[in-house]
Structure 1
Amino acid sequence: MKLKTLMLGAAASFALAPMAMADGHEGERGRDGEVKILYWQAPSILNPFLSGGTKDIEASSLVLEPLARYNETGEMVPFLAEEVPTVANGGVSEDLTTITWKIKEGLVWSDGTPVTSADVKFTAEYCMHPEGGCAQGAFFDGVENVEAVDDLTVKVTFNQPKPNPYGPFVGGQSPIIQAAQFADCLGAKAPECTDANYNPVGTGPFKVAEFKPNDVIQYEANENYREEGKPAFATVTLKGGGDANSAGRAVLETGEFDYAWNLQLAPDVIAKMEAAGYGKAITGFGPLLERIEMNLTNPSPDLPAETRSTVAEPHPILSDVKVRKALSMAIDRELLTEVGYGKAGAPTCNLVPAPAIYASDNTDCLTQDIEGAKALLEEAGWTDSNGDGVREKDGMKLSLLYQTSTNAVRQDFQALIKDWWSQIGVETELRNLDGSVFFGGDPGSPDTFQKFYADVEMYANTFNGTDPQQYLAAYRCGGEPKPSSQWQGENINRFCDPAYDAMIDELGRTGDLDERSALAKKMNDVLTKDTYTIVPLVNRARVSAKANSLGGVVLNVWDSELWNVGDWYRTK
């Protein structure tokens, strides 16, 4: 049956995929003292279900773990589960409507209490609660029921056959939380549970000792961690704030820190830092995409709080696809890549630039077309009637607020794009926000990327694993951030198309890899080439820095970058 192709073909690699190990470095837990990590976008919460920010998801991953995750080659490996369920081993039903997970025996939370199927079931209830605004809701797309069969067995039932049932509880974005700790945090109460959100009880190699939001996290070794002699480090200091330049210098030039995340710097800057001899940059290409998001709703501060940036108020300018297309046409992606990333970037027109099997052959956007963009705006009725260089229509100026996080490369991109847009008659106001706030997900802040109180915004995003099903499912109608969801939700653009929703469902039940590939490419093109809801810019490599004295680091572009921190050790 074609329906089973994905499941059957994946069974062998899932069952046999090795976990990264720190060979030859056994010893007592905590033997290597402190490891110091820099995330220049400071984490603001340690609950990945309440934040779509990479900084928060990855800071949480030292503590919270999923049933399975992806290793550095993109293969799925068991973590809290005994094995990855497949049709071949009986864990996935023949009709592909259920997946049954077996939790490893003897697992305990960092507080010493047993990990059970009730925790897994509760995690689903927490994220699927209609008033909770779960930031990772797409992982539970199509889930009809989650049943605790016995203390160590969990059965997930889908509303249709799921050849790729590895959404819930897989990868760093979908970990397990403790039912006892979060019991009173369901629905609208979720953001109010400060202690649980800042100090989650977990199963990972470390536990939280102290958390100062938007500043620093102190972790200590989890004495109940399942692997003897791990972690090698007794404590972790994860410092936030600053910028990519200072983070890179702290590892590569001065040796003050052991690891720095996301060196969003020009290649020549990194090379000069490496010359000091304290560490080296590590890189890897995956699906990480720098993009511009178009707001399809009206962010005007003149609107009531309950309708501002919601589907109740369409955007007065960007609701027109011709305007969105013109903005994309005016951009020179080749130059952006050269200026910002060099060999650590590749210009792209795709929301899903990798892996290759899912990457569309769409290349139209790679050629900048200023004159074509002007003509398209004329066709849409936007003209410069008074000669001031800014187009108008029906008494409204073609003026946009363009926001992003504070970072030298992003500000360079803003300046270039503002210039190109001015050449086609668009007035652009630039705004940059501290990354800790912009990516923080605080429902009370007006400055989060989810709230989207701007016309366009720019940032990078990626997905766990090598299959984009959950990533593409994020654009389902109703998944947009809104007041009733505590401003959480993955559908940042407020895009809604029933035909696209039907494709989400079709992808969910399609098993043949060629058919999945074709459908995923079509969905990619709907969001980029057909509607210009998302304007891809650069497929970015992950670039981080590690000290020469830090061993066990395995860069992973398919999951949390800190996925194997329990294997890290000091070499000298």
Structure 2
Amino acid sequence: MDENEIQGLVTEVKQGTLSRRSFIGKVAAFGIAAPIASQILVWHDVAMADATLDYKPTKAGGGGPLKILLWQAPTLLNPHFALGTKDQIASRIFFEPLAGWDKEGNLVPCLAAEVPTKANGGLAADGMSVVWKLKQGVKWHDGKPFTADDVVFTWQYAADPATAAFTTGSYKDIKVDKIDDHTVKVTFKAPTPFWADPFVGGQVGQILPKHHFGDYVGAKSREAPGNLKPVGTGPYRFVEFKPGDMIRAERNPDYHVKNQPHFDTLEVKGGGDAVSAARAVLQTGEYDFAWNMQVEEEVLKRMEASGKGKLDITPSGNVEFIILNTTDPWTEVDGERSSVKTKHPTLSDPAVRRAINLLIDRDSIQKFIYGRGGIATASFVNAPKQFKSPKLKYEFDIDKANKILDEAGWTKGADGIREKDGKKLKYVFQTSTNAPRQKTQAIIKQACQKAGIEIEVKAVTASVFFSSDVGNPDTYSKFYADMEMYNTTQPQPDPERLLNQCVSWEIATKDNKWLGRNNSRWSDPEADKAYKAAQSELDPVKRAALLMKVDEIFCGAHVFLPLLSRPIVNAGVNNLVVDMSGWDTITWNLAAWYRV
């Protein structure tokens, strides 16, 4: 399909003779992924949809209680400190962005009155600015009006280095001006092809009320009562929060969307594990919905057979991967381990990292553990298709790994463990407590033994491992181990935000309270250069090539060892209708959930 054919179909959409869904289907037949097809419509000034769910209720309320299980329990409710997905999901119940992403990668307005386009005057032709018109009549949960002042404040709050926000990277290089009470202008330092990052989506875009956080900025940001007792604009109002345990909320009677939300109360229960969460929905029906069914395929099939619930599987850009630590996690420098001022005694050797990559049996991990929940991959970026590198391949070869280590001078001692210059290939491999992850650890450990590498497996309670608590030594962002494994989310249909985990200015350190996105601490000047160039490259083909290069550098250096491309797998009872998106938090459209 060439440019003229695409333009012809776009014209049909504008004329109303072709639906947007049909457009996506037609271009998908030529290998263009749905999110990119949707983005093409944005580029051609075709407005996005108002919703993706066919909402049936004719009035707000009346749905009774909604009970959700997040087996990785939330620990805070400020979205700009929400390092873990669990905290982002929980925060999104109360706070909202200007717009979110639906399952097809469409931009859907939330606190914005409309999605900016060139046609409506929102997008500048030179890519230097975007104007957001805000929805009028929106109230914070305490009755105060939502205005442009809140949007400007959120920018100032997140951009301030002293705040040490998880979202700083999306806000530090922009300028936000109030045009009037219901209009703001975002100005970029350079042409910005992916402008829908600040104020967009559940991971970085949620707006804070100035009147609640204004006295808690910079160094005082952690003292704000709103970090644990949120006042937002969302469909549910805060009632109670017990960190690491439970959230209770009630329907917001002043919610700004007609006839929403359907449920009268909301309970979000944390703790336990994925298996017990799956059982509580699929077998007993005790809860309505459970997030992240990271449960072995065989176990899920047995539970589904009860007929009380079903899995909801949504394509996404999420990836399960391993990071190899090239800094020293066992030596403390200036009050922190895994400091960029150190080098790992053995994993700084590229040959060792390459050998470990060859000792991962990805096909078996997919087949025997994850099933529908994962597809073996060698790429950190797997979707949309246009951004996945064709150069990245994987193989499982124990003999080849042994040969590489032999040639690099790592010889086996009397105990069978390889060593060189008095340093042994012995590693602590950590991840969260979860049966599929522990089985994956076991598979990798067994293969490593055959190559003279000793692995000590470590499992950390999920609520601790993914905690945003800066005082916790066992978080994945501190990375006080040699290897670690987890799933990282791609929060938009564009991988720029995902790949900021590969740039030097996002390295997690003590100074930024370990909220930098780059947990590997490894960086490469060429990756930095390609990423920066992609941020201002308006040609979509050239931009995709630059982002692929970043992926290729990190995976090619075997600092990132991707395992599985993972769809979002949740469980719901049969009479619950939900609206999932692979490009946003699961609660992105919680107001539209209902029971039939």
Relative to the length of structure 1, the TM-score reads 0.94
Q: 1:272 aligns with which of 275, 299, 302?
A: 302
Asked if 1:249 is matched to 2:279, the reply is yes
1:14/1:170 CA distance change after superposition, 3 Å: farther
- Identical-residue share of aligned pairs (%): 41
Q: 2:71 is matched with which residue?
A: 40
Q: 2:573 is matched with which residue?
A: 547
Separation in 2, partners of 1:310, 1:84: 42
Q: Secondary structure at the match of 1:190?
A: helix
Q: Secondary structure at the match of 2:219?
A: helix
Separation in 1, partners of 2:272, 2:448: 30
| Alpha-carbon contact 2:294-2:373 (below 8 Å) kept | no
| Alpha-carbon contact 2:467-2:475 (below 8 Å) kept | yes
Separation in 2, partners of 1:352, 1:13: 27
1:363/1:488 CA distance change after superposition, 3 Å: closer
Cα distance, 1:490 vs. partner?
0.5
Asked if 1:204 is matched to 2:250, the reply is no
Separation in 2, partners of 1:542, 1:35: 20
Amino acid of the structure 2 residue aligned with 1:241: G
Separation in 2, partners of 1:150, 1:475: 38
Separation in 1, partners of 2:591, 2:41: 31
Amino acid of the structure 1 residue aligned with 2:356: L
Q: 2:445 aligns with which of 418, 424, 440?
A: 418
Q: 1:18 is matched with which residue?
A: 50
Amino acid of the structure 1 residue aligned with 2:300: I
Separation in 1, partners of 2:46, 2:434: 38
Structural mapping, 1:501-512, within 5 Å: 501-512=528-539
Asked if 1:383 is matched to 2:414, the reply is no
| Alpha-carbon contact 2:117-2:123 (below 8 Å) kept | yes
| Alpha-carbon contact 1:78-1:84 (below 8 Å) kept | yes
Q: 1:456 aligns with which of 471, 480, 483?
A: 483
| Alpha-carbon contact 1:119-1:177 (below 8 Å) kept | yes
1:14/1:324 CA distance change after superposition, 3 Å: farther
| Alpha-carbon contact 1:100-1:154 (below 8 Å) kept | yes
Asked if 1:240 is matched to 2:240, the reply is no
1:502/1:87 CA distance change after superposition, 3 Å: farther
Cα distance, 1:13 vs. partner?
7.1
Q: 1:312 is matched with which residue?
A: 341
Q: 2:20 is matched with which residue?
A: none
Amino acid of the structure 1 residue aligned with 2:547: A
Separation in 1, partners of 2:55, 2:116: 27
Amino acid of the structure 1 residue aligned with 2:445: K
Separation in 1, partners of 2:174, 2:566: 36
CA shift digits 1:226-263 (9 cap, x unpaired): 02332111111000111111101101100100001111
Q: 2:357 is matched with which residue?
A: 328
Separation in 1, partners of 2:392, 2:527: 22
Separation in 2, partners of 1:39, 1:8: 35
Cα distance, 1:221 vs. partner?
1.1
CA shift digits 1:144-163 (9 cap, x unpaired): 31212221111111111112
CA shift digits 1:416-436 (9 cap, x unpaired): 111111111111111111111
Cα distance, 1:224 vs. partner?
2.1
Asked if 1:371 is matched to 2:399, the reply is yes
Q: 2:133 is matched with which residue?
A: 102
Separation in 1, partners of 2:167, 2:270: 23
Cα distance, 1:87 vs. partner?
2.5
Range that drifts further, 514-523 or 5-14: 5-14
Asked if 1:524 is matched to 2:554, the reply is no
Q: 2:471 aligns with which of 437, 444, 450?
A: 444
How many residues were matched structurally? 560
Q: 1:114 is matched with which residue?
A: 145
Q: 2:213 is matched with which residue?
A: 182
Cα distance, 1:399 vs. partner?
1.0
Q: Secondary structure at the match of 2:316?
A: strand
Cα distance, 1:84 vs. partner?
1.5
Relative to the length of structure 2, the TM-score reads 0.91
1:426/1:14 CA distance change after superposition, 3 Å: farther
Q: 1:284 aligns with which of 308, 314, 317?
A: 314
Amino acid of the structure 2 residue aligned with 1:322: A
Q: 1:145 is matched with which residue?
A: 175
CA shift digits 1:271-308 (9 cap, x unpaired): 111111211111122111110012222111x4245241
Q: 1:559 aligns with which of 584, 587, 592?
A: 584
Runs (5+) with no aligned partner, structure 2: 8-35
Amino acid of the structure 2 residue aligned with 1:40: W
| Alpha-carbon contact 1:138-1:471 (below 8 Å) kept | no
Separation in 2, partners of 1:424, 1:412: 19
Q: 1:294 aligns with which of 300, 324, 328?
A: 324
Separation in 1, partners of 2:457, 2:279: 28
Range that drifts further, 98-107 or 210-219: 98-107
Asked if 1:340 is matched to 2:369, the reply is yes
Amino acid of the structure 1 residue aligned with 2:299: V
Separation in 2, partners of 1:126, 1:160: 22
CA shift digits 1:157-201 (9 cap, x unpaired): 1111112211101111121111221123323332333x2111221
Amino acid of the structure 2 residue aligned with 1:18: D
1:13/1:220 CA distance change after superposition, 3 Å: farther
Q: Secondary structure at the match of 2:220?
A: helix
Separation in 1, partners of 2:249, 2:469: 23
| Alpha-carbon contact 1:51-1:488 (below 8 Å) kept | no
Q: Which has the higher contact order (CA 8 A, sep 6+)?
A: 1
Separation in 1, partners of 2:573, 2:139: 32
Q: Secondary structure at the match of 1:444?
A: coil
| Alpha-carbon contact 2:314-2:580 (below 8 Å) kept | yes
Q: Secondary structure at the match of 1:15?
A: coil
Separation in 2, partners of 1:82, 1:429: 53
Q: What is the alpha-carbon root mean square deviation over aligned residues?
A: 1.8
Amino acid of the structure 1 residue aligned with 2:51: M
Separation in 2, partners of 1:19, 1:75: 9
Range that drifts further, 252-261 or 127-136: 127-136
Q: 1:358 is matched with which residue?
A: 387
Q: Secondary structure at the match of 2:459?
A: strand
Q: Secondary structure at the match of 1:341?
A: helix
Q: 2:595 is matched with which residue?
A: 570
Separation in 2, partners of 1:377, 1:14: 55
1:150/1:72 CA distance change after superposition, 3 Å: same
1:14/1:289 CA distance change after superposition, 3 Å: farther
Cα distance, 1:363 vs. partner?
4.4
Cα distance, 1:267 vs. partner?
1.8
Runs (5+) with no aligned partner, structure 1: none
1:528/1:255 CA distance change after superposition, 3 Å: same
Separation in 1, partners of 2:558, 2:581: 30
Amino acid of the structure 2 residue aligned with 1:129: D
Separation in 2, partners of 1:36, 1:144: 39
1:223/1:412 CA distance change after superposition, 3 Å: same
Q: 2:90 is matched with which residue?
A: 59
Separation in 1, partners of 2:359, 2:499: 26
Separation in 1, partners of 2:542, 2:534: 9
Separation in 1, partners of 2:514, 2:290: 30
| Alpha-carbon contact 2:48-2:115 (below 8 Å) kept | no
| Alpha-carbon contact 2:248-2:268 (below 8 Å) kept | yes
Separation in 2, partners of 1:188, 1:316: 36
